[in-house]
Amino acid sequence: MYFLNINKPKGITSFDVIRKLRKRLNIKKIGHSGTLDPLASGVLQVAVEDATRLLEYLGSNKTYIADIKFGYITNTFDSEGEKQFVKTPDFSQSVLKDCILSFVGKSLQIPPKYSAIKQNGKKMCDMARNNKDNIIELQPREIEIYSIDLINFVDDYAQIKVCCKKGTYIRSLVNDIGIKIGCGAYMSDLKRICAGNFKIENSNELDDIEFNKIDPLEALELDKKELSDIEFKFVKNGNSIPQNQQFSTDKILLTKNNKLVSIANLSDNLIKPKKIFWRD
C-alpha cells in the first residue's frame, strides 16, 4: 500500500484521474482525498490498495493559488458559469488587501450550489444544472482561513494565495470578496499547491513514466510509536496496550521495524488499535 501525489491537470475530474490510474496500474482499489473541480489543477492525494483505509487521516490543511476576475459574477462562482456584469472595479491595492485580510480566521461560509455536496443522494451540481426547483438552500458551514496573501493585482485582476482548513470553498471565498469590495468577482483559475504533506513541487504528472510511491508513515501527520515484541503481539491481534508515553496527537501510528502495523486511538491511558495493516 502507498500514496501518490498527482498533479491533476485542468479539464478533467478527480475521478478521471482515478480511472486513468486504475487502468495504468491495473489496480482497482484506488481512491483520493479532496476533490478538485475540472477547472482546478494541482495536488491530488491518491491512495493505492490498503492506503485507501487511511484517506480520512491525511493532513487536512490546504494551500491554493486563485485568480480573481472583478466586475462580474457567475452562477457557479467561477469562469464556467453564466457571467453577469456588476460594476467596473475602482479600488486601490491597499483597499483590496484590507478586504481579503478580513476573511482570515474562523467564519461561516455557504458552499456553492454547483458543488459535489450531496442532497438526498444526488450531487448539488447535477441538480443545479438540471434546474431542479426543489434544491434546498445549503446551510452555512464553519471554515477557517489561516492566511491570505495578495500575489498580484492589475486593474480588474488579482491573484491570491490562500492557506485554509479542509472544507473551505475558494469559489465562495472569491464571490464573498467581490460582494464585500462592491463590484462582484468570480474565480477564473485555481491551483492547489499543498494538501497536508503533499506539495506541488514533489508531485507526479499523469503521464510520468514512474510514480513516486509515498509510504503512509511519510504521508500521515501523526505521532509514531515503535512497538516492542510483546506489544506487537497484542496489537496485531487487535488488543490494546498501556500508554507509557505522551503524544501530541490523539491518533497515532504503531510500527514494527519501521513498517505500519496499526493506526490507534488514545483513550483512558490505553493505546487502542483501530485499523490493523500488518500481514503475516
User: pLDDT tens digits, the chain, 280 residues: what are they?
Assistant: 999 999 999 999 999 999 999 999 999 999 999 899 899 999 999 999 999 999 999 988 999 999 999 999 999 999 988 999 999 999 999 999 999 999 999 999 888 866 555 455 554 444 444 555 455 567 788 999 999 999 999 999 999 999 999 889 999 999 999 999 999 999 999 999 999 999 999 999 999 989 999 999 999 989 999 999 999 999 999 999 999 889 998 899 999 999 999 999 998 889 999 999 987 6
- Are 22 and 48 found together in one domain? yes
- Are 186 and 203 found together in one domain? no
Question: What is the CATH number for 251?
Answer: 2.30.130.10
- Are 67 and 124 found together in one domain? yes
Rounded Cα gap, residues 74 and 50, in angstroms: 41
pLDDT score at 118? 47
Cell numbers representing residue 256 in the block? 514494527
pLDDT score at 220? 92
Catalytic residue among 37, 67, 78, 176: 37
pLDDT score at 279? 75
- Are 210 and 237 found together in one domain? no
Cell numbers representing residue 181 in the block? 469590495
Domain end marker among 140, 172, 190: 190
Q: Is 207 a catalytic residue?
A: no
- Are 76 and 185 found together in one domain? yes
Cell numbers representing residue 70 in the block? 472583478
Q: How far apart are the first and last CA of the chain?
A: 15
- Are 89 and 40 found together in one domain? no
- Are 176 and 85 found together in one domain? yes
Beta strand pairing status for 2-8 and 105-109?
A: unpaired
Parent domain of 112:
62-190
- Are 233 and 208 found together in one domain? no
SS (H, E, C) the chain: CEEEEEEECCCCCHHHHHHHHHHHHCCCCEEEECCCCCCCEEEEEEEEHHHHHHHHHCCCCEEEEEEEEECEEECCCECCCCEEECCCCCCCHHHHHHHHHCCCEEEEECCCCCCCCEECCEEHHHHHHCCCCCCCCCCCEEEEEEEEEEEEEECCEEEEEEEECCCCCHHHHHHHHHHHHCCCEEEEEEEEEEECCEEHHHCECCCCCCCCCECHHHHCCCEEEECCHHHHHHHHCCCCEECCCCCCCCEEEEEECCEEEEEEEEECCEEEEEEECCCC
DSSP state of 249: S
Domains in the chain: how many in total? 3
- Are 179 and 66 found together in one domain? yes
- Are 101 and 147 found together in one domain? yes
pLDDT score at 140? 85
pLDDT score at 120? 52
- Are 13 and 84 found together in one domain? no
Question: What is the CATH number for 133?
Answer: 3.30.2350.10
Amino acid at position 113, single letter: K
All residues at 6 or more sequence positions from 81 whose CB lies less than 8 Å from its CB, including other chains:
74, 75, 114, 186
pLDDT score at 189? 96
- Are 90 and 185 found together in one domain? yes
